[in-house]
Amino acid sequence: MPKIFWLCLLGLLCVLATAPASFAASADDDVKQAQQLLKAGKGAQAYELLKGHVDAKAGDPDFDLALGMAAIDAGKPNQAVFALERVLDNQPGNDLARAELARAYYELGENDTAREEFEAVRGKQLPSSISNTIDQYLSGIEQRLGATRTRYDVFVETGLGYDSNVNSATSDNQVAIPALGGLVFNLTNNSSELDSMLWLINAGFNFYTPLRQDTTLFGGIEFDNRLSVDEVDFTQHQYNGSLGVNLRRGTDQYRLIGQAQKFTVGGNNFRDYGGGVAQWQRDLDANNQITVFAQGAVLRYPDQNIRDVDRVAGGVGWGHAFSGAGKPVMYASIDGGSEFETHSNAAHIGRDFAGLRLGGQYMVNERLYALGSFEYEHSEYGGPEPLFQKTRDDDFFAASIGARYALNKNISLRPEVRYSRNDSPISVFGFERWELLTTMRYDF
């Protein structure tokens, strides 16, 4: 045969021998480029770059992970599921792939499966772009499910504790009465601070039911029982009920809530409360939320009618979720209002008040959260106390620090230390208090 034939044949064999290596090198380069595009938020472009290599590279975990992430951003969640499941077949412990698979199921509307996968990687070490949004995806899933079916939340809680001032009373044993010429009287045992061990028994039931896609009816009842072991006259029972409606419009939520409460001390009806709250809430972005509210209520004291008041109040709050280690969450609010006495000659009962509240949590690990809060409220009363011939101008402070530890999905422990103090120009209204509490809660 002519020499030129053998030369052509040899060249063709060389091309065929080097083609797979060249193609593999090209695919690897495309994977690296796709990863850079994903970091730049250009997932659709990354998908176009990778889709032509599926036949050759499917089964390579790096390729399949990049392809799955890119497919989600390109609006092709079905292809993402196939690719990411291949990753997990080869690397069952790949938390990033599992988180992305959860995101793909979310885009497909498979809410229960998505929630299961998100819960499996919640609290794991993941890129901040993923870990910071897991709670938002879970919240979105709950909203989706809430839009289609009624949900019930039930809990029971019990615990033990100690209260250094179970009756919120002064530490003084005697008091001078200016209206009686400064005569000094010994306070009764129940009028001075008393300490006691506590037994806590609480339970609650809440429901959420859709009225239409953007509107939810919700409500619940709670029973809080604070049994004073050493001072039974100050055992407290509190019964709370609420019913409201929530309307969602994009990033805005509007709520109207009716509330009622009965509070007893030592088996006697101490106070009845009834009122309502109007609230507007907006998600400013993925990490910030603001709330504005207005409240109207009546407070009635069956055995001390002179203390009856009507309350109006309002306030604004802000919540922020930080990125990084511990996923800290912080909230702050300011509020103010007035309580108007309902009886004549009772100006000393009415008051104007304003307050500040701060709080937050820090995730130590996926089971343990550190918690803290601080509260301050200033009150100016409308007239002098008849017996003491002074007008109250009180400052109330409260702070707490504690933790919540999840033993499993349903059971959690919460140890907590609380401190509160009320400073008043009239000594019998001033007090200081420490509480040490540990409770166990079961969520059904």
CA distances from 393 to 82, 314, 378 (A): 68, 21, 8
- Within a domain: 349: yes
- For residue 274, the model assigns a pLDDT of 98
Domain at 272, CATH number: 2.40.160.60
Count helices and strands (H / E) in the chain: 8, 16
Same domain membership, residue 395 and residue 294: yes
- For residue 303, the model assigns a pLDDT of 92
Number of structural domains found in the chain: 2
Same domain membership, residue 324 and residue 356: yes
Helix or strand or coil: residue 353? strand
- Within a domain: 417: yes
- Within a domain: 153: no
The secondary structure of residue 179, as a DSSP letter, is G
Contact 219, 242 (CB under 8 A): yes
Same domain membership, residue 82 and residue 174: no
Distance CA 428, CA 405 (A): 39
Cα end-to-end distance, the chain, whole Å: 86
The residue among 356, 358, 292 whose CA lies nearest residue 320 is 358
The residue among 110, 50, 56, 122 whose CA lies nearest residue 81 is 110
- One-letter amino acid of 216: T
- For residue 23, the model assigns a pLDDT of 43
The secondary structure of residue 188, as a DSSP letter, is P
- Within a domain: 15: no
Same domain membership, residue 302 and residue 262: yes
- For residue 25, the model assigns a pLDDT of 52
Distance CA 83, CA 73 (A): 14
Residue 66 in tokens: 């990049």
- For residue 22, the model assigns a pLDDT of 44
Predicted TM-score (pTM) of the model is 0.71
Give the mean pLDDT per block of 10 residues along the chain (444 residues).
53 46 58 80 84 83 90 91 92 90 91 89 76 81 74 95 96 90 87 95 95 91 96 96 94 96 95 98 91 98 96 97 89 98 95 98 94 98 94 98 95 98 96 98 96
- Within a domain: 4: no
Residue 268 in tokens: 């006697």
- For residue 340, the model assigns a pLDDT of 97
Beta partners for 401? 372, 417
Q: Residue 273 sits in which domain range?
A: 158-443
Domain at 57, CATH number: 1.25.40.10
